[in-house]
Amino acid sequence: MSHRQPGAPDGAPRPDGRPPERAADASMGLLNEVMYRPVALGGARSAGPLPEGGRGSARRTVVHALLSVLLGLLTVTAILSLRAPAAAVDEGRALLIDQITERTASRDALDASRRALTQEVAALQDELLRGSDPALAAELRASELLSGALPVGGPGLVVRLDDGPDAEEDPDTRVQDVDVKMVVNALWAAGAEAMAVNGERLTSLTTVRTAGETIWVNFVPLVPPYRIEAIGDPATLQTRFARSAAAGSLVSLESTYGITATVTAQDDLALPAGSGRRLRYATSPVDVTSSDETPMQEGAS
């Protein structure tokens, strides 16, 4: 990095090509210095004559050897550790993936145990109420059925949405949360009584949303294809769904992005219970007792 002494005689590739001191490009001195006299070696040598021979020479040789060993070590170490990070990054990534898989498995296990416990609680509650207050038990059961707290089964419609063929490269051709919401809302509007997306039951407290590049339902990440199951009269559902705006949108999704949507009627669908989250803060302002008023089955929005 050192600049050469002025007047160093040699070392530049074209020493005679350079103009004398007061040149027209004097203001370009720095650039000329960098471009045409880049080597400190020749100049420094001629600037500092080396005393030869004697004890000093031997000692200097040792110092040279040590320093050069040190520099070689430094350079190779630097190169080696610069080459390493790729592996380290991969390692960290693999570790993260492992952790994700592990946590997902533990979440699934916890969820399964929660479902089992919920079922047990429901069974015990049922047993207790059936003995003391059969009417209340029936009412509870009806409410739970309506609110999605119980697994349900019945005939219905299955809408299957899948990403376009280029989904890996082009995020636009992936199914978005709005597409799922559109189908879900259209199915509610067509008269569906209960619905689930990829086994996640939709209740009044369900959200369908996107975080990152993943669609989440009930705060559970889903992977395509998305299977939207709706229980209801298959014929009615199919007719009304086909007439809805959503059906038209699905066609345009397919032509524009290659997102495929297939609608099939099924005789026997089984939907799991919803998350069973209780209302903690929401209370009824008046004592509503009429049981014939169906709770608003809101689609995800």
Partner 1 sequence: MIAIVGLLIGAIIGLVLEPEVPAALQPYLPIAVVAALDALFGGLRALLDGTFDDRVFIVSFLSNVVVAAVIVFLGDQLGVGTQLSTAVVVVLGIRIFSNAAAIRRHLFRA
| Binding site residues, partner 1, CB under 8 A | 1-2, 10-11, 13, 34-36, 38-42, 44-46, 50, 60-61, 64-82
Nearer to partner 1, 38 or 134 (CB): 38
Shortest distance (Å) from residue 67 CB to partner 1: 5
Shortest distance (Å) from residue 84 CB to partner 1: 9
If you write DSSP's letter for every residue of the chain in order, what string do you get? -PPPPTT--S-SSSGGGS--SS-TTGGGHHHHHHHH---HHHHHHHHSPPP-SHHHHHHHHHHHHHHHHHHHHHHHHHHHHHHSHHHHHHHHHHHHHHHHHHHHHHHHHHHHHHHHHHHHHHHHHHHHHHHH-HHHHHHHHHHHHHHT-S-EEEEEEEEEEE--TTTTT-GGGS--HHHHHHHHHHHHHTT-SEEEETTEEE-TT--EEEETTEEEETTEEE-SSEEEEEES-HHHHHHHHHHSHHHHHHHHHHHHH--EEEEEEEEEEEE-----PPPSS---SS----TTSPPP-PPP-
Which residue, among 152, 159, 153, 273, has the nearest Cα to 206 in the 3D structure?
273
Nearer to partner 1, 67 or 211 (CB): 67
Shortest distance (Å) from residue 46 CB to partner 1: 8
Nearer to partner 1, 61 or 119 (CB): 61
Nearer to partner 1, 67 or 105 (CB): 67
Shortest distance (Å) from residue 90 CB to partner 1: 17
Nearer to partner 1, 46 or 297 (CB): 46
Nearer to partner 1, 83 or 280 (CB): 83
Shortest distance (Å) from residue 33 CB to partner 1: 10
The answer to whether 207 and 219 are in contact (CB under 8 A) is: yes
With tokens 């080459």, the residue in question is 83
Shortest distance (Å) from residue 18 CB to partner 1: 13
Nearer to partner 1, 44 or 263 (CB): 44
Nearer to partner 1, 65 or 100 (CB): 65
φ, ψ at 209 (rounded to 5°): -150, 170
The answer to whether 163 and 174 are in contact (CB under 8 A) is: yes
Shortest distance (Å) from residue 6 CB to partner 1: 18
Shortest distance (Å) from residue 107 CB to partner 1: 34
